[in-house]
Structure 1
Amino acid sequence: MGSIMPKVWVQGTTVAALGLVLAGCSSITNHRGYINDEVLIASVQPGLDNRQSVRGTLGQPTMTSQFGDPVWYYVSSQTEQSPFRQPKIEEHSVLAVYFDEAGNVVSTDRSGMEQVVRISPDGDETPTLGRERGFLEDLFGNIGTVGAGMPGGGGGPGGP
């Protein structure tokens, strides 16, 4: 009976460790922005609603247009992130509510993942103007230049 107990303990520890490893490999789902409620969105009617009723129904917009016709945008994204990776957008929707000058709803428009653009940066470095310096030049480049432009040999305040 004494030899069975260590085997059970080892098996239990192994199962627990395996569970922790698998839990660490699971991805994290995160919702960002407006939470879509299809019933509330469908209740916004052109010609019947205005800014006040839309704000009361849908809440504060994610963003508003700054130029041109007044438009309120309700943006919603669901991301998924695997361990050691950048978040990836799984679902995305934008509800645009267009208003006339009097503040009445003219129309609504919805868009989704077809409008999402994935950008791949070109390389790891940002090009800059000027000369190219190596590692040693960056490390030792200022030796002898500190205070060289100051009158009197670079003594500075309280110097000779």
Structure 2
Amino acid sequence: MGSACSSVYRNHGYVPTDEDLAMVEVGKTVREDLPQLIGRPSSAGLLEGSAWYYVGSRWEYYGARPPVEIDRQVVAVSFGETGVVENVERFGLEKGQVVVLSRRVTDTSIKGVGLVRQLLGSIGRVTAGQLVD
């Protein structure tokens, strides 16, 4: 009798928790405060002039087969011209569509949706359709 295989799950990258993000005040917190509050994006994320993108994924390892990425999230924190946080958004994928999982905004126009699609794009297929809100 062989030994039974069971899945092992590992997280890669870094996405702030909702509890950590609650410390970021839209309209008050400035870019310089973020490293102490929620950290800087890991190597999987991006530091862009107008936003910081945090990317985290969950992988399933099972026996000898190659690992499979089963979930990926992107948290986007965007800034106004003075460096004050304007938007805090969490994105994920549902049936291949980019979906907003949570959002706190001063401005409802979404910036960087194309970039969010790229950051989420390597898990499954992200369609070029509209962002599901």
Distance 2:34 2:16 in 1: 14
Q: Which structure would you say has the larger RCO, counting Cα contacts within 8 Å and 6 or more residues apart?
A: 2
**Radius of gyration: which is bigger?**
1
More helix by share: 1
**Percent identity between the aligned chains?**
30
More strand by share: 2
Distance 1:64 1:82 in 2: 33
What is the deviation of 1:75?
Answer: 1.0
Moved more, 26-35 or 82-91: 82-91
C-alpha RMSD over aligned residues: 1.9
Q: Partner amino acid for 1:53?
A: D
Distance 2:16 2:82 in 1: 26
Residues 46, 52 of structure 2: 8 Å contact kept: yes
Map 1:1-160 onto structure 2 (within 5 A): 18=2, 21-22=3-4, 25-61=5-41, 62-65=45-48, 70-114=50-94, 115=98, 116-117=120-121, 118=124
- Per the normalisation by structure 2, the TM-score is 0.63
Runs of 4+ in 1 over 3 A off after TM superposition: 114-117
How many residues are aligned here? 96
Q: Partner amino acid for 2:38?
A: L
Distance 1:87 1:36 in 2: 24
Residues 77, 85 of structure 2: 8 Å contact kept: yes
Q: 5+ residue gaps in structure 1?
A: 1-16, 120-160
What is the deviation of 1:47?
Answer: 0.9
Distance 1:42 1:57 in 2: 10
- Per the normalisation by structure 1, the TM-score is 0.53
